[in-house]
Amino acid sequence: MSRVLVLQHVKSEGLGIISKSLKQKKVGANFIKIFNGERIPRGINGYDGLVVLGGPMGVYEEEIYPFIKDEITLIKNALKNNVPVLGICLGAQFLAKAAGADVYKGKKKEIGWYTVELTDDGKSDGLFIGLPDEFTVFQWHGDTWGQISNLSPAKCLASSELFPHQIIKVGKNAYGLQFHLEVTEEMIKEWIDVNDKEMASVKAYINPKKILKDTSRNIKTIHIYGEAVFSRFLNLVYK
């Protein structure tokens, strides 16, 4: 059986609907629960893929979160060995950093439902082919990244009005999604509750009630997109 290693930074940000795709593809998953102090291996040996989930920390906060260096080392090892990588939100930022980009705070936070647009590269990519040129996704981030180093061939597959990098592809099979296709309605409700201080800091332009209303309207559609994308990613992993 193929197996992926999953890095989970906080308890509330789990696999969501990725779990369904794993079961359908009969791919096993081992977790490193970083929030429990579990150590990150330096190499990806023994695994057929790497999934890096989201979290509230910043890639540039190494002094606060010592595990960041180890996580970047692991992702670099996966890239070196052509092991498929899927980074979500913070995971996408880690992937960008491992590929040579600077990660930094954006001008404004994206929290809620926003439109992203596929680039020409995104429209023709195997993971996203057939998706609408523009579609609405769930966002919860404030950081972004700059140009990827020329030493790591990378493409931008999608962008948005506020953030030019919404999907990146590094090499042949490493993908970073700035947004969340994996979320369930229950996860979104929990995030609003557990991140109440962050929500208070952006109350001038982000309304939790509107987010929940938009969630009811959009969640089924992004699950259709998410199931397609995750299934296609796991095709890269499956042996």
> Which is it for the CA torsion 190, 195, 197, 200, positive or negative?
negative
165 included as an active-site residue: no
38 included as an active-site residue: no
> Which is it for the CA torsion 96, 181, 51, 229, positive or negative?
negative
89 included as an active-site residue: yes
Contact 30, 1 (CB under 8 A): no
> Which of 9, 141, 180, 223 is an active site residue?
180
Q: Which among 174, 13, 187, 10 is positioned nearest to 98, based on CA atoms?
A: 174
3-state secondary structure of 227: helix
> Which of 13, 71, 182, 223 is an active site residue?
182
Pairwise CA distance, residues 85 & 236, whole Å = 10
Q: Which amino acid is at 195?
A: N
Q: Which among 75, 80, 76 is positioned nearest to 50, based on CA atoms?
A: 75
> Which of 89, 141, 165, 223 is an active site residue?
89
Residues designated catalytic: 89, 180, 182
